[in-house]
Amino acid sequence: MLAMTMVFSVADPAMREKVKEGKTFQFVAERLRGKLTVPDMK
C-alpha cells in the first residue's frame, strides 16, 4: 500500500517537535471537540 498523508490536531503542541517529515511513529487518534486529535505518540 502506498503512503498516505492525513491531517490531525495534537493535544500538546510541543509534541510536534518530536517528529520530523518522513519519520515513522505510532499513535491513536481520538475525536476531541469534533476534531481527530493525537493525545500521545510512541
Q: Are 29 and 37 in contact (CB under 8 A)?
A: yes
Q: What is the pLDDT of residue 18?
A: 84
pTM for the model stands at: 0.65
Between CA 35 and CA 15, with CA 8 as vertex, the angle to 5 degrees is 115
Q: Residue 27 is inside which H or E element, if any?
A: none
Give the residue extent of every domain in the chain. 9-38
pLDDT tens readout for residues 1-42: 788 888 889 999 998 888 888 888 899 999 999 999 999 988
pLDDT on residue 31: 94
